[in-house]
Amino acid sequence: MNEPVVVRGLTKTFYDESRGEVRAVQAIDFECRAGEIFGLLGANGAGKTTTLRMLSTILAPTAGSAALLGYDIVRDPGRVRQCLGFYSASTALYPKLTARETIEFFARINQLPEKKVPGRVDYLIERFGITTYAGARVDRLSTGMKQKVSIARTIAHDPPILIFDEPTVGLDVLNALELQNMIRELRGQGKTILFSTHIMSEAEKLCDRIAIIHNGRILACDTLANLRMSTGMHYLEDIFVHYVKGQA
């Protein structure tokens, strides 16, 4: 139980008026190790976002448990969020704040000690090349600029665990590549990264270990090399189809 992220029997059931009871996530188990990129690979509606939303305490689990750095997501949500940076396509920035104000605000509200805030903000602005537009409002920035500010605000409080939920959705190839490089760099700094995607090539390139998730269940979880070995297939796409069809 020493891994930064430990998930045990995590389950989420929704009630939908038209579909009735929907079991979005069904008793999943996994662990993420320090300094690795752990990929959740699944089609749309597989349960990736629901899982990550539970880990980030946005949603409460119906059953099971999860702990981040030993903090339980139900009993200690504030601590969990403090040691976590959450980035997704649906976590937009506040359009009326400037880039600098955005990073400052997230550093403060995510409990970075006040003394460290100015130095941390300056470092991130320089690190991400935001200097020239640090004083510009977010609603006047280009998509690429916003993406940099978004990552900077995600790590503003220097969290040890980062969640990236389908981060490249809506980005062009160059911006997507730049984002992948940044994620690699964060791994290099020792961060534990949970990365969800439905793009096979992205998972292949980035993830140290991959969990294939389908219909709310984890069908396989291993390194790409081991997945290749156990299925006898080379391409992740084929491996993915193999497991999904196997379940069907």
Partner 1 sequence: MFNARDIRVLYKRELRCAMRERSIIINSIVLQIVLYPALLWLVYTGISFVQGQTEGFTSRIMLRGIPGEHQLLRQELEKSERIAITESHDPEADLRAGSLDLLMEFTPAAAEAAAQEGNFQVRLTYDESKDRSSMALERVSELIDRYRDHFLDQQGRRFGLTSQQLQPIWVASKNVASSRQMGQFILGRMLPVFLIIMLNIGCMYPAIDSTAGEREKSTWETTLTYATSRANIIAAKYLYVSTIAAVAGILNLTAMLLTVRSVMAPLLAGRAEDFTFRIALSSLPLILLVDILLALFVAAGMMILASFARNFKEGQSLVSPFYIAVFLPVIFLQAPGLELTPAMALVPVANVTLVFRDAISGIYNWPLIGVTLAVEAVCILLLLWLATAILRHEDYVIGSYGGSFGKFLKEKLLRSGRK
Residue ranges in contact with partner 1 by CB under 8 A: 14, 17, 53, 56, 58-60, 78-79, 81-82, 84, 86, 88, 90-97, 101, 105, 108-111, 137, 157
- Select 102 or 221, whichever has its Cβ closest to partner 1: 102
Of the pair 69, 239, the CB lying nearest partner 1 is at 69
Choice between 56 and 196, CB closer to partner 1: 56
- In the bound complex, what is the minimum distance in angstroms from residue 248's beta carbon to partner 1? 28
Pseudo-torsion of CA 240, 200, 160, 142, nearest 10°? -150
| Closest approach of partner 1 to the CB of residue 229, in Å | 38
Minimum CB–partner distance for residue 3 and partner 1 (Å): 21
Whole-number Å distance between alpha carbons of 245 and 248 = 5
CB of residue 94 vs partner 1: minimum separation in angstroms? 6
Question: Which residue in 83, 204, 75, 96 sits closest to 140, CA to CA?
Answer: 96
Cβ proximity to partner 1: between 51 and 110 the closer is 110
Please return the burial class of 148, using the count of CB atoms within 10 Å of its CB with bins 0-12, 13-18 and 19+.
buried
Nearer to partner 1 among residue 11 and residue 91 (C-beta): 91
123 closest CA partner among 104, 146, 141: 104
Rounded to a whole number of angstroms, the minimum distance from the CB of residue 21 to partner 1 is: 14
Q: What is the CA 155 to chain-centroid distance, rounded?
A: 12
Q: Using the minimum distance from each CB to partner 1, give the nearer residue, 2 or 18.
A: 18
Q: Which residues of 123-142 are buried (b: 16+ CB within 10 A; e: fewer)?
A: ebbeebebeebbeebbeebe
Q: How far is the CB of 92 from partner 1 (least distance, A)?
A: 4
- Cα gap 83→32, rounded to integer Å: 14
